């Protein structure tokens, strides 16, 4: 076989290999999801959603964990959203050329790479202990808020960057101040992108387990939180807890809870993608 | 601007010979000198055209009058710019106030991604004007001035981005007119438009001249010849000749001007 | 009046941005102070050289090596799986695949990174381990192999997406030159494009390593809780992150030595990931300068 034919064969072989690799991850994911689905789908019913945790697998439900997740996600968004948007506005519109801005940028990209469990250690020391919040919803929300802050900042910056310079020029030429231009033109125009970023940040936060375990969110919480200072659990911690229990009934519970968690995660991702497309069309 | 509140309009405009003035202006971008020693006097209610090859400083000079160059890195200016006998680079001058007096239309139409109504009302809203009736009246009169009212009056809430290029540019002019400036700066306003839209806008400029002082940068010499009263020929940061348009195009003083006009270089 | 308002607004926005610096300072301070307290009781030599980690037993050892080896072992397995697969995907998508395929597949692949890690942990323990036990006799119920492989699946998009961007950024003119001389796509890819995009590809690998080192739930669920200085993938081990979880779930007194061990472990983890992230940032700067 001469060289040219050999090379062609190698080329084709790699093509096949490439397709196989591409599909491998997705096929594995499908297998995993299918498996989970089969294990857990039976278990999902209204009582599963509404029940409190219990020592017996048939009676246990995810109600407290769902409520805990709802509380924590809402509060952490309330913390991270204004701070993140404000920081992004500063970096994109005000602080462009100074040295501080480049330090801030490096710092933010660093924070985005810090393992989430480290945020848990930070939250444990500062919120739970020094500020004496205990292992409360408040401490958990602040911790998660810090974790998703870099995500909100980065995606808001992207959204702001996408607004064409010509719009700012037109606004300044009409005598608008910098803040008027940001508030009346840039922010409304980047709204879709910011919304997308927030939804993605929340869909990431809903699955976070380690930092909340570290601050002391309990695995067995027989009540739903009523105030921000109450103790709490969240859905992924509930799943983790059930996985570690020996009784076989709990495996089904875990699988069922995973289905719920994945449903929430994928729906949010889908909504984010939908909004991103809608917003990108609007700017054109 | 202008402290002559008690004199009549005629008296004050007789006193003020020129609307816009530049005295010994040099402009630098870091080490590069973009404008070399330009002085110029522009009369009120006239149309002045800046012509010349690309990169000769026409836009830079134009933007001195609304201080849009302030945003460019490395920008530095020597000399003075006067509007209504006031030096606009003094510290006490409020740049935002200046830009309400001096409007600008850009080369590529840049309407805001908002409704037609919101676009025209923007300049008023940023001044804090909220009265709905007032806004509606002003928007209507501005759109009528640019001959866009009949085309859009039933669709004021549609996005401005749905308009054609020519319509968008007229919208941008209407937006500028809504705040009732006295000067309008135009930076190649028709170079991105088709001939029909261009003609409509040239007609508009001709009508606007009665109420406003207009300075227009243009690459299109025929356009300068059609619509302007005075023309300035720029070449590499200097003004080679500045005179009545008629004279520039039929009997220029300088050979260089003649060469450019007749197309020997460009 | 207006000027004052603008000034105040600018300073408010600045203070929001400065919160991010406060977070970094907070992390460094918290880890350092507690680690310092830890090292006032445990010598740093012991910490670095002791081969056992048993802070919760009566006979206490505080050697970080077992946890470190657990972390590195699982990371190594994950990378060994994800790099060939991820790189092949990126080359295929960048040089072979039709545009429409690329557009559909890319978001699907990024889905792999969006799955919560506790779900991956479930897979590793309930699906992968039993499966592998059929192939590898003597594979224990908790082991580094299952956890590492599943981690590898999770980090595929980290490598494939970033590498693909790097490959895509290589100017088309290089491809034209290579194809013009009659090379196949394979030869072109490996001899011309990959070397040209090498710094971007390396950045993606560094980031993937950093992600794997910091991963918690997959290893906490599937790799075990037995700190063991070993590179045997078939036995239970414990990673730094899993140890922190283990202590947090238990009843450890605050202000005790045992409590401080999680910060000693934490600061070790932080140093590793910080160095890796800084390295990748520097490389990314150099890489951008190359093409701009």
What is the CA angle A67-A68-A74, rounded to 5? 90
pTM: 0.87
pLDDT in tens, A84-137: 999 999 999 988 777 888 899 889 989 989 999 999 999 999 999 899 888 899
How many Å lie between the alpha carbon of B229 and the closest alpha carbon of chain A? 25
Please give the average per-residue pLDDT across C35-46, as a whole number: 89
Maximal CA-CA distance, chain B: 57
Measured in residues, chain B has a length of 266
Spatial distance between the Cα atoms of B211 and B180, rounded to a whole number of angstroms: 10
The alpha carbon of residue B62 is apart from the nearest alpha carbon of chain A, in Å, by: 13
Residue A210 to residue C245, Cβ atoms within 8 A = yes
What pLDDT does C35 receive? 92
Model pLDDT, residue B36: 93
Residue B29, helix vs strand vs coil: strand
Q: Which residue has the higher pLDDT, C77 or B263?
A: C77
Count other C-beta atoms under 10 Å from residue A113's C-beta.
19
Q: Which two tokens stand for residue A75?
A: 């509060």
Number of other residues whose CB lies within 10 A of the CB of residue B50: 27
B98 and A CB contact within 8 Å: yes
Report the pLDDT averaged over residues B79-96.
90
Q: Which pLDDT score is estimated for B24?
A: 93
Q: List strand residue ranges (DSSP E) for chain B, in order.
A: 20-29, 32-42, 47-51, 75-83, 86-87, 102-105, 183-187, 213-217, 230-235, 238-244
Mean pLDDT of C120-136: 92
For residues B217, B219, B221, B224, the Cα torsion angle rounded to the nearest 10 degrees is -20
Residues of C in contact with A84 (CB under 8 A): 16
Cβ contact B110–A175 (<8 Å): no
The answer to whether A215 and A143 have CB atoms below 8 angstroms apart is yes
What token pair was written down for C155?
Answer: 């980090």
Q: What is the per-residue pLDDT for B4?
A: 46
Dist. CA C31–CA C42, nearest whole Å: 16
Give yes or no for a contact between B119 and B156, defined as CB atoms under 8 angstroms apart: no
**A contacts of B122 (beta carbons < 8 Å):** 171, 174, 176, 184
Torsion of CA B257, B261, B262, B264, to 10 degrees: 60
Please determine, for residue B7, whether its predicted confidence score (pLDDT) is greater than 60.
no
Q: How far off is chain C from A47, nearest CA to CA, in Å?
A: 22
Measured in degrees and rounded to the nearest 5, phi and psi for residue B181 equal: -75, 175
- So what's the ipTM on this one? 0.91
How far lies A155's CA from each of A7, A195, A200, A228, B230, in Å?
44, 9, 9, 28, 50
pLDDT at residue B73, rounded to an integer:
83
Distance CA B228, CA B189 (A): 14
Give tens-digit pLDDT for A122-145.
999 999 989 988 889 999 999 999
Residues A115, C21: C-beta atoms closer than 8 Å: no
Contact A164 B110 (CB under 8 A): yes
3-state secondary structure of A134: coil
Determine contact: B172 vs chain A, CB below 8 A.
Answer: yes
Lowest mean pLDDT among A29-33, C187-191, C196-200: C187-191
CA distance B110 to chain A (A): 6
Q: How many Å apart are CA C73 and CA C233, to the nearest integer?
A: 7
DSSP for A197-258, written as a single string? HHHHHHHHHTT--HHHHHHT--S---S---STTSB---HHHHHHHHHT--SHHHHHHHHHHH
pLDDT tens sequence across C223-243: 988 998 989 999 999 999 999
Give the per-residue pLDDT at B104. Answer: 95
Answer yes or no: do B112 and A167 touch at CB < 8 A.
yes
B113 interaction partners in chain A (CB closer than 8 Å): 167, 188-189, 282-283
Q: Distance from first CA to last CA of chain A, Å, rounded? A: 54
**Residues forming a β-bridge with A136:** A231
- Give the separation between CA B107 and CA C236, rounded to whole angstroms: 69
Helix residue ranges, H only, B75-164 = 95-101, 116-125, 132-145, 149-152
Chains touching C by CB (3 or more pairs below 8 Å) = A
Which residues numbered 42-81 in A keep a CB inside 8 Å of some CB on C?
A: none
Query: Quick one: pLDDT at residue B9?
Result: 62
For residue A258, which residues of chain C lie inside 8 Å, CB to CB? 118-119, 122
Give Cα separations from B89 to A198, A251, B19, B30, C23 (angstroms): 43, 75, 16, 19, 43
Residue B217, φ and ψ in degrees, nearest 5: -90, 130
Rounded Cα distance between A72 and B100, Å, is: 48
Q: How far is CA C9 from the centre of its chain?
A: 38
Q: Which of A28, A121, A244 sits opposite C153 (nearest CB)?
A: A28
CA distances in angstroms from B38 to B72, B78, C74, C110, listed in the order given: 20, 10, 72, 58
How far is CA A4 from each of CA A1, A7, A11, C152, C174, rounded to the nearest angstrom? 8, 5, 10, 36, 21
Q: Are A138 and A232 contacting, i.e. CB atoms less than 8 angstroms apart?
A: no
Q: Taking a contact as any Cβ pair under 8 Å apart, which residues of chain A between 234 and 263 contact chain C? A: 236, 239-240, 243-244, 251, 254-255, 258, 261-262
Over residues B171-197, the pLDDT tens digits come to: 999 999 999 999 999 999 999 899 998
B13 band by pLDDT with thresholds 50, 70 and 90: low
Token pair belonging to A238? 């509930």
Q: Once rounded to an integer, what is the mean pLDDT over residues A80-85?
A: 96
């Amino acid at each position: 076989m001469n060289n040219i034919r050999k090379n062609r064969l190698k080329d084709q072989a790699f093509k096949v290999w490439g397709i196989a690799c591409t599909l491998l991850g997705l096929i594995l994911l499908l297998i995993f999801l299918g498996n989970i689905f089969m294990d857990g789908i039976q278990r999902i019913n209204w009582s599963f959603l509404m029940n409190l945790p219990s020592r017996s697998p048939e009676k246990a439900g995810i109600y407290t964990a769902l409520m805990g997740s709802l509380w924590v996600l809402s509060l952490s968004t309330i913390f991270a959203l204004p701070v993140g948007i404000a920081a992004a506005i500063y970096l994109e519109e005000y602080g462009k050329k100074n040295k501080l801005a480049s330090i801030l940028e490096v710092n933010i990209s660093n924070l985005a790479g810090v393992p989430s469990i480290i945020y848990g250690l930070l939250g444990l020391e500062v919120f739970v202990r020094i500020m004496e919040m205990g292992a409360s919803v408040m401490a958990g929300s602040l911790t998660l808020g810090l974790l998703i802050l870099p995500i909100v900042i980065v995606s808001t910056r992207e959204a702001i960057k996408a607004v064409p310079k010509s719009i700012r020029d037109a606004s300044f030429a009409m005598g608008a101040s910098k803040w008027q231009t940001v508030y009346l033109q840039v922010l409304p125009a980047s709204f879709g992108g910011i919304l997308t970023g927030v939804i993605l940040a929340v869909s990431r936060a809903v699955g976070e387990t380690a930092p909340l375990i570290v601050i002391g969110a309990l695995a067995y919480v027989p009540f739903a939180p009523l105030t921000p200072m109450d103790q709490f659990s969240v859905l992924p911690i509930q799943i983790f807890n059930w996985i570690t229990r020996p009784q076989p009934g709990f495996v089904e519970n875990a699988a069922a809870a995973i289905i719920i968690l994945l449903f929430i995660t994928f729906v949010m991702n889908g909504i984010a993608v939908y909004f991103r497309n809608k917003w990108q069309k609007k700017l054109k | 601007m202008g402290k002559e509140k008690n004199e009549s309009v005629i008296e004050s405009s007789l006193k003020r010979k020129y609307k816009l003035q530049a005295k010994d202006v040099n402009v630098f971008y870091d080490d590069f000198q973009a404008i070399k020693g330009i002085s110029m006097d522009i009369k009120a209610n006239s149309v002045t055209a800046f012509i010349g090859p690309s990169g000769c400083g026409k836009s830079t000079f134009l933007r001195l009058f609304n201080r849009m160059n302030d945003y460019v890195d490395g920008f530095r200016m020597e000399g003075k710019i006067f509007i209504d006998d006031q030096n606009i680079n003094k510290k006490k001058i409020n740049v935002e106030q200046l830009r309400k007096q001096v409007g600008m239309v850009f080369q590529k139409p840049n309407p805001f991604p908002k409704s037609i109504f919101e676009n025209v009302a923007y300049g008023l809203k940023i001044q804090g004007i909220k009265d709905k009736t007032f806004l509606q009246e002003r928007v209507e009169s501005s759109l009528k001035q640019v001959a866009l009212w009949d085309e859009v009056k039933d669709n004021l809430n549609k996005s401005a981005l749905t308009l054609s290029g020519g319509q968008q540019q007229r919208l941008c002019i209407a937006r500028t007119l809504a705040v009732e400036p006295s000067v309008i700066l135009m930076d190649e306003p028709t170079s991105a438009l088709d001939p029909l839209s261009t003609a409509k806008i040239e007609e508009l400029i001709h009508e606007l001249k009665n109420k406003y002082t207009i300075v227009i940068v243009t690459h299109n010499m025929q356009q300068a010849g059609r619509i302007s009263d005075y023309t300035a020929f720029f070449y590499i940061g200097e003004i080679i000749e500045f005179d009545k348009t008629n004279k520039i195009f039929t009997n220029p003083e300088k050979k260089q001007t003649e060469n450019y006009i007749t197309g020997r270089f460009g | 009046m207006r000027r004052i308002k603008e000034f105040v607004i600018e300073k408010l926005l600045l203070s929001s941005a400065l919160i991010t610096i406060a977070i970094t300072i907070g992390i460094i301070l918290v880890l350092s102070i507690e680690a310092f307290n830890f090292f006032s009781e445990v010598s740093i030599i012991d910490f670095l050289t002791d081969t056992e980690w048993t802070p919760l037993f009566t006979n206490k050892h505080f050697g970080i090596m077992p946890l470190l080896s657990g972390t590195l072992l699982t990371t190594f397995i994950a990378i060994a799986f994800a790099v060939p697969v991820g790189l092949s995907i990126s080359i295929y998508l960048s040089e072979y695949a039709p545009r429409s395929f690329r557009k559909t597949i890319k978001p699907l692949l990024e889905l792999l990174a969006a799955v919560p890690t506790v779900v991956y942990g479930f897979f590793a323990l309930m699906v992968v381990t039993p499966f592998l036990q059929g192939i590898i006799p003597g594979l224990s119920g908790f082991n580094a192999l299952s956890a590492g492989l599943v981690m590898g699946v999770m980090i595929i998009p980290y490598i494939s997406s970033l590498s693909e961007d790097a490959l895509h950024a290589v100017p088309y003119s290089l491809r034209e030159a290579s194809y013009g001389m009659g090379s196949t796509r394979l030869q072109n890819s490996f001899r011309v494009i990959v070397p040209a995009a090498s710094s971007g590809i390396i950045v993606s690998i560094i980031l993937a390593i950093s992600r794997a080192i910091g991963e918690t739930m997959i290893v906490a669920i599937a790799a075990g809780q037995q700190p063991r200085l070993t590179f045997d993938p078939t036995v239970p081990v414990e990673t730094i992150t899993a140890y922190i979880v283990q202590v947090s779930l238990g009843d450890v007194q605050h202000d005790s030595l045992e409590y401080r061990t999680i910060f000693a472990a934490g600061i070790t983890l932080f140093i590793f990931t910080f160095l890796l992230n800084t390295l990748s940032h520097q490389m990314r700067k150099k890489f951008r300068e190359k093409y701009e």
